[in-house]
Structure 1
Amino acid sequence: MSGVVESADHEQVVFCRDRASGLHAIIAIHSTALGPALGGTRFHPYSSEDDALSDVLRLSRAMTYKAACAGLDLGGGKAVIIGDPAKLKTEPLLRAYGRFVESLAGRYYTACDVGTFPDDMDVIARESRFVTGRTRTHGGAGDSSELTAFGVFMAMRAAAAHTWATPSLRGRRVGIAGAGKVGRRLAEHLIADGASIVVADVANAAVDQLRARHPDIEAEDPQKLLARDLDVYAPCALGGVLDDETVPALRAEIVCGGANNQLAHAGIATLLRDHGVLYLPDYVVNAGGLIQVADEIAGFDERRARARAEKIFDTCQRILAMATDHDITPARAADHLAEQRIAEISRPRGSWRPNQATAPQPREVAP
């Protein structure tokens, strides 16, 4: 069974239940003004359905803005599966979820997120045509963390150019919170550019693995990294790390990382500016992953996707120039840029319908 509820800011919210497999999921479509909604499926043990709903509504809205700023003809959506993936993730559950995705007839494309991986997308794709972020074996682009990290690096270069009049991070100290897939790949880009790295992660094994490859990287306690003497602070783990208490302790001049929802609330963007910290909005910075899975819909071309991700540098420069010219925060400038594109493009199109000729064409359901 699925139930649909109204949201003041969303086109559609679908509650998905399959008792046989234990599936309990929510799919949120925020906007299809620019095209079908695209966003990952997060598999997480939320403490309640209300918490899951709050998260999926916030994340799907951010995807709308992310796609718009990235110049993609896609809208914003997201899904959450409620539960511990280590205990509940099974083929029947993923296939049941795939049937719900298919029932939306292309208004929503799903992909990987926290707790889901390309192999999971291959299973979901056995029930739905509207799946991306798949393994290379099944024609996908594989792990999107590589292009995500590359996009973060491009954004960081733009922030450096704005702050220090050079796009290079050579000689700068960058603190990376999170030594997972994105944080690890970001560190490699920064080391190649001549930066020194301080890394922190609650998983000691992830830090040890990174330092085994790059012994010059310094390890730090996750609770202490934010207050270190850094040039750049790069949140690449969970969101919400920047709040009313942590911002005054922040010593970096730039905040630029791959984590979603880095700000505890919208007012933190102003607080960061008041403390002399340049913050680039996470949904602009980490758009490389979205660019990759979006490119995969019509058949992945690595050069094309990388070239588009490289333009994150230009987008960030435009946002920072707009913020300076209008005396607003970069977060507000990014919102304005996204809203402007949505307003301009959506006027002749309205919300997206499955039979529109301009829709991306999905591949056939994989066996």
Structure 2
Amino acid sequence: MDVLKQSYEQLIFLQDLSIGFKAIIAIHNTKLGPALGGCRMWQYASDESAILDALRLAQGMTYKSAVSGLPYGGGKAVIISHADQGPREVLFRALGQKIHDLQGTYITGMDLGTTVTDMDWVRLETSFVTDTTGSLGAVSELTAKMTAYGVFLGIKASLKRAYGSETVKNKIIAVQGLGKVGYQLCRYLKQADATLVVTDINPKLLKKAVDDFGASPRRPHDIISAPCDVFSPCALGGILNDTTIGQLNCSIIAGAANNQLAESRHGEMIHGLGILYAPDYVINAGGIIVTSVELGGGDAVAAQKEVEKISDTLTYVFSEADAQGISTAAAADGVAEKLLGN
């Protein structure tokens, strides 16, 4: 997926200097239904980098919904964090007003850097929001837990494809990023007797994972080259690029981060090295599946049953790659585009 070669339905740049508000809403595709995708709040190097991130994330949500069989398209909102920004309530209510103006074309929710409280403020302005207080996604951080659970199941499916057995016992898993999803993933892996190698830019999170799971710590720049069976990116995107791919010391890449490939060609590079790649938008779909179940009136039990289908979807992508003699990244794109009628 090369973002600049894609067609987008809408790209909206929002700015109100009186409240220090700068945000982007990207709507990629609504063929299958309203664009669904969370709102992240992040400090970017430039407005251009924020726009590119929103575009890539929106496209990923379209493909994620499609391969997961969900009746939604893909969109994303980004609030640009900066020194002169106004109070969070003011910012998120401003975003909610614009989302309401879109009349259901885009539905938002939590993402990196945003909270249930933020979504509650959006809810004051529009009904087109999820992950608010009392919602399925907000209860006990179910969205993060189910995203991690889906990745855990995807790791097992990848191990079966690569080694003939899905057991994670004594397998070395290197987890990059110990936020809500990465930490929950470590919990699932530890319970299954995996050997964990971990890193995070936050020393407190790193120490917590070491203490809680008996994990071996690594410096952030060293995790890429750590010898392991599975490298699991659970931080920011673009981690698989010209610089890092040659440093990989793993058999499998399977993680929760969005947009792990810096460019589409990097999927081919990984394939050429004989490393099995679990396409990110297939394996990390647990969060959007929870949201879809919530919007359909389902409960946590129903959400978990739907998340458990990720393993079968990923296995199907692997089989398509084998049948066509192509990379798993290309196979996943092909599956998504066929479902979208492209």
TM above 0.5: yes
Inter-CA distance 8–284: structure 2 relative to 1 (3 Å threshold): closer
Secondary structure of the structure 2 residue equivalent to 1:119: helix
Alpha-carbon distance between aligned partners in 1 of 2:148 and 2:246, rounded to the nearest angstrom = 27
> Could you say which residue in structure 2 is the equivalent of 1:71?
69
Structure 2 matches for 1:73-112, cutoff 5 A?
Answer: 73-84=71-82, 88-112=86-110
Structure 2 matches for 1:37-76, cutoff 5 A?
Answer: 37-76=35-74
Q: Is the 8 A contact 1:37 1:75 kept in 2?
A: yes
Alpha-carbon distance between aligned partners in 1 of 2:284 and 2:84, rounded to the nearest angstrom = 26
> Could you say which residue in structure 2 is the equivalent of 1:34?
32
Structure 2 matches for 1:95-134, cutoff 5 A?
Answer: 95-134=93-132
Alpha-carbon distance between aligned partners in 1 of 2:21 and 2:53, rounded to the nearest angstrom = 18
Inter-CA distance 329–78: structure 2 relative to 1 (3 Å threshold): same
Give the C-alpha shift of residue 319 in structure 1.
0.3
What letter is aligned with 1:72?
Answer: L
- Size of the aligned set, in residue pairs, is 336
Moved more, 237-246 or 149-158: 237-246
Alpha-carbon distance between aligned partners in 1 of 2:257 and 2:82, rounded to the nearest angstrom = 21
Structure 2 matches for 1:172-321, cutoff 5 A?
Answer: 172-214=171-213, 216-321=214-319
Secondary structure of the structure 1 residue equivalent to 2:220: coil
Alpha-carbon distance between aligned partners in 1 of 2:194 and 2:216, rounded to the nearest angstrom = 12
Structure 2, gaps ≥5 residues long: none
Moved more, 164-173 or 28-37: 164-173
Secondary structure of the structure 2 residue equivalent to 1:325: helix
**Structure 1 stretches of 4+ moved >6 Å:** none
> Could you say which residue in structure 2 is the equivalent of 1:157?
156
Cα deviations by residue, 1:32-76 (Å, 9 ceiling, x for unpaired): 000000011111122322222111111101110000011100000
Secondary structure of the structure 1 residue equivalent to 2:104: coil
Moved more, 139-148 or 29-38: 139-148
Alpha-carbon distance between aligned partners in 2 of 1:263 and 1:85, rounded to the nearest angstrom = 30
Alpha-carbon distance between aligned partners in 1 of 2:206 and 2:220, rounded to the nearest angstrom = 11
TM-score by length of 1: 0.88
> Could you say which residue in structure 2 is the equivalent of 1:347?
none
What letter is aligned with 1:37?
Answer: A
> Could you say which residue in structure 2 is the equivalent of 1:353?
none
Same amino acid, percent of matched pairs: 39
Give the C-alpha shift of residue 275 in structure 1.
1.0
Give the C-alpha shift of residue 88 in structure 1.
4.1
Alpha-carbon distance between aligned partners in 2 of 1:114 and 1:219, rounded to the nearest angstrom = 23
TM-score by length of 2: 0.94
Alpha-carbon distance between aligned partners in 2 of 1:115 and 1:241, rounded to the nearest angstrom = 19
Alpha-carbon distance between aligned partners in 2 of 1:37 and 1:89, rounded to the nearest angstrom = 27
Structure 1, gaps ≥5 residues long: 1-6, 345-367
Alpha-carbon distance between aligned partners in 2 of 1:100 and 1:51, rounded to the nearest angstrom = 22
Alpha-carbon distance between aligned partners in 2 of 1:89 and 1:287, rounded to the nearest angstrom = 31
Alpha-carbon distance between aligned partners in 2 of 1:210 and 1:164, rounded to the nearest angstrom = 27
Moved more, 116-125 or 309-318: 116-125
Inter-CA distance 76–85: structure 2 relative to 1 (3 Å threshold): farther
> Could you say which residue in structure 1 is the equivalent of 2:9?
11
Cα deviations by residue, 1:242-270 (Å, 9 ceiling, x for unpaired): 11221122110000000111112111111
Inter-CA distance 98–88: structure 2 relative to 1 (3 Å threshold): same
Give the C-alpha shift of residue 316 in structure 1.
0.4
Alpha-carbon distance between aligned partners in 1 of 2:86 and 2:93, rounded to the nearest angstrom = 13
Alpha-carbon distance between aligned partners in 1 of 2:80 and 2:68, rounded to the nearest angstrom = 29
Alpha-carbon distance between aligned partners in 2 of 1:233 and 1:126, rounded to the nearest angstrom = 41
Alpha-carbon distance between aligned partners in 2 of 1:285 and 1:199, rounded to the nearest angstrom = 20
What letter is aligned with 2:183?
Answer: R
2:335 alignment partner, one of 334, 337, 346: 337
Secondary structure of the structure 1 residue equivalent to 2:109: strand
Alpha-carbon distance between aligned partners in 1 of 2:218 and 2:20, rounded to the nearest angstrom = 40
Alpha-carbon distance between aligned partners in 2 of 1:13 and 1:110, rounded to the nearest angstrom = 15
Give the C-alpha shift of residue 8 in structure 1.
5.9
Secondary structure of the structure 2 residue equivalent to 1:76: strand
